[in-house]
């Protein structure tokens, strides 16, 4: 039981770390490939200054990350691990 919980937590951590790495690399690539067009930005300066929007941007709360972490760990413990055990038992049959 302890081994299952440990493996589930490690799996959930790996999934979340992989997600963060993909987001960082994606942001870096988009930033490197972005080439601003200075001439076009200068010509539309008047339109940009007269338009202002107010509001909030929603970012995920810490609870969302905790729930996805718990859900990923539960998915591993109750779905993936039994499948992996069944697959390993089939391979060990003579």
- Cα(50)–Cα(70) distance, integer angstroms: 47
Per-residue pLDDT tens over the stretch 40-90: 666 665 655 666 677 777 777 778 888 999 999 999 999 888 888 888 888
Predicted pLDDT at 62: 79
| pTM flag (> 0.75) | no
Considering only residues 50 and 31, tell me which one the structure prediction assigns the higher pLDDT. Answer: 31
The band of 12, judged by pLDDT with boundaries at 50, 70 and 90, is very high
**pLDDT for position 8:** 92
Please enumerate in sequence order all residues whose Cβ is within 8 A of that of 76, keeping only pairs 6 or more positions apart, or say none.
Answer: 7, 8, 11, 12
Distance CA 81, CA 84 (A): 5
């Amino acid at each position: 039981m302890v081994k299952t919980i440990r493996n589930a937590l490690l799996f959930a951590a790996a999934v979340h770390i992989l997600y963060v790495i993909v987001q960082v690399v994606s942001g870096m690539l988009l930033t490197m490939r972005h080439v601003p067009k200075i001439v076009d930005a200068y010509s539309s300066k008047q339109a940009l200054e007269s338009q202002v929007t107010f509001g909030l941007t929603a970012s995920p709360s810490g609870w969302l990350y905790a729930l996805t972490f718990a859900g990923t760990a539960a998915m591993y413990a109750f779905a993936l691990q039994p499948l992996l055990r069944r697959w390993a038992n089939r391979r060990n049959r003579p």
